[in-house]
């Protein structure tokens, strides 16, 4: 086995040892087709008030802008499907937010991953990203052979569905590359399009981010949610899993084994009235390490109130 082969084998073993469920590697190249799609999407205003999406365009499509001399893009997936589900008739929270903030959990693993690579292979220039930098992680996952991008815009894996966090490590290390995932297994299925409460999923694998419930309940910083969305949230108070819940490929989802993703009991059990009476101090204490801290106490209060108000008959 040559150096590329031995380095690749070590990296995949290290990823598994750190608890990642999948590891794929692609050659670092400029993503020209993705650049065109992203440009069209931004041009149509589908990012809404997420103005940060317009920033650092070149960095999103060219890995060498993030890591000079980039040769390989390593994609890691970690399952977050929970062992326990929410009680009926409570404000719904997206499953990715049941436990501790994945940014903190996976960033720690990525730092360790890169440290192990340097310790065993030598001086390697690399940067890890976890959904917080201008990286088109789903495109790299597909190029790394891990799955395909479904009609709902999520990465779908043929054996485990879509309840995964995606982490990306760009490095100047030359490695053996996996074959891209070539087939789209969505076929003629339109369950995600049909089920989307706000009709944010459009034909052609386009998601109008400015109509997505996750956008309104997390990204939108204004204290007023547009009235046209009344009665369309289907009780989602933070994020939305509808398009994933109806996807046939998620029948293969298995509970994750990451202790840090153990559901916070309040998320599973709190009724609307308990959310309403929760003080900001209590919120900060319970959700200090939770993704819910992103929308803050005021944001959650706004979301809960919005679910309560109904359009008059």
pLDDT tens per residue, range 242-288: 999 999 999 999 999 999 999 999 999 999 999 999 999 999 999 99
pLDDT tier for residue 57 given thresholds of 50, 70 and 90: low
The tens digit of pLDDT for each residue in 190-205 reads 999 999 999 999 998 9
Neighbours of 44 (CB within 10 A): 11
As a whole number, the mean pLDDT across the chain is 91
Indicate the domain borders of the chain: 3-171, 191-250+263-308
Structure tokens at 178: 């996996």
For the record, the structure tokens of 228 come out as 């046209």
Burial of 179 (0-12, 13-18, 19+ CB in 10 A): exposed
pLDDT on residue 311: 46
Q: How confident is the model at residue 222 (pLDDT cuts 50, 70, 90)?
A: confident
Q: What is the pLDDT of residues 105-153, one digit of tens each?
A: 999 999 999 999 999 999 999 999 998 666 789 999 999 999 999 999 9
Mean pLDDT of 76-81: 98
**Whole-number Cα distances in Å, 311 to 227, 232, 308:** 9, 10, 10
* Residue 307, pLDDT score: 94
In the residue annotation, 235 being an active-site residue is answered as: no
Return phi, psi of residue 24, to 5°. Answer: -130, 155
| pLDDT at site 55 | 61
**pLDDT at residue number 135:** 76
Q: Across the beta sheet with 164-171, what order do the strands follow?
A: 22-27, 72-79, 164-171, 126-129
Residue 158's pLDDT band (cuts 50, 70, 90): very high
User: At residue 7, does pLDDT exceed 70?
Assistant: yes
Ramachandran region, residue 150 (left: φ > 0; alpha: ψ -120 to 50; beta: rest): beta
- CA distances for 87 relative to 31, 66, 238, angstroms: 43, 43, 15
3-state secondary structure the chain: CCHHHHHHHHHHHHHHHCCCCEEEEEECCCCHHHHHHHHHHHHCCCCCCCHHHHCCHHHHHCHHHCCCCCCEEEEEEEECCCCCCCCCCCCEECHHHCCCCHHHHHHHHHHHHHHHHHHHHCCCCEEEECCCCCCCHHHHHHHCCCCEECCCCCEEECCCECCEEEEEEEECCCCCCCCCCCCCCCCCCCHHHHHCCCCCEECCCEECHHHCHHHHHHHCCCCCCCHHHCCCCCCEEECCCHHHHCCHHHHHCCCCCCHHHCCCHHHHHCCHHHHHHCCHHHHHHHCCCCHHHHCHHHHHHHHHHHHHCCCCC
Overall pTM > 0.85:
yes
Identify which of 63, 84, 116, 1 has the alpha carbon closest to the alpha carbon of residue 265.
84
* pLDDT for the residue numbered 59: 65
Beta strand 126-129 pairing with 92-93 = unpaired
The span from the CA of 47 to the CA of 15, in Å, is 33
pLDDT of amino acid 312: 43
Catalytic residue among 62, 131, 172, 245: 131
**Which tokens sit at 309?**
């108000």
- pLDDT score recorded for residue 41: 67
pLDDT band at 48 (very low <50, low <70, confident <90, very high): low
Residue-level pLDDT at 313: 42
């Amino acid at each position: 086995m040559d150096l590329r082969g031995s380095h690749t084998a070590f990296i995949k073993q290290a990823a598994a040892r750190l608890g990642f469920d999948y590891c794929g590697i692609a050659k670092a190249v400029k993503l020209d087709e993705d650049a065109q799609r992203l440009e069209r999407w931004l041009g149509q205003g589908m990012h809404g008030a997420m103005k940060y999406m317009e920033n650092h365009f070149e960095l999103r499509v060219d890995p060498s802008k993030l890591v000079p001399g980039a040769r390989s893009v390593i994609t890691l997936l970690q399952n977050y499907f929970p062992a326990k589900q929410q009680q009926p008739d409570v404000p719904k929270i997206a499953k990715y937010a049941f436990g501790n903030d994945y940014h903190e959990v996976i960033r720690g693993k990525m730092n360790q991953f890169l440290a192990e690579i340097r310790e065993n292979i030598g001086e390697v220039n690399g940067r890890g990203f976890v959904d917080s930098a201008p990286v088109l992680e789903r495109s790299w996952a597909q190029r790394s052979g891990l799955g395909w991008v479904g009609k709902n815009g999520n990465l779908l894996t043929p054996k485990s569905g879509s309840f995964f966090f995606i982490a990306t490590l760009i490095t100047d290390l030359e490695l053996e590359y996996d074959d891209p995932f070539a087939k789209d297994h969505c076929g003629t299925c339109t369950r995600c399009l049909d089920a989307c409460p706000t009709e944010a999923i459009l034909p052609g694998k386009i998601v109008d981010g400015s109509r997505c419930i996750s956008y309104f309940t997390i990204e939108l910083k204004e204290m007023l949610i547009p009235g046209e969305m009344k009665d369309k949230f289907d009780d989602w108070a933070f994020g939305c899993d509808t398009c994933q819940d109806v996807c046939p490929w998620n029948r293969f989802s298995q509970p994750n084994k990451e202790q840090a993703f153990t559901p916070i009991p309040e998320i599973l059990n709190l009724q609307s009235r308990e959310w309403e009476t929760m003080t900001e101090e209590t919120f900060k204490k319970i959700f200090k390490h939770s993704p819910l801290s992103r929308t803050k106490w005021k944001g959650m209060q706004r979301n809960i109130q919005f679910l309560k108000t109904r359009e008059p008959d």
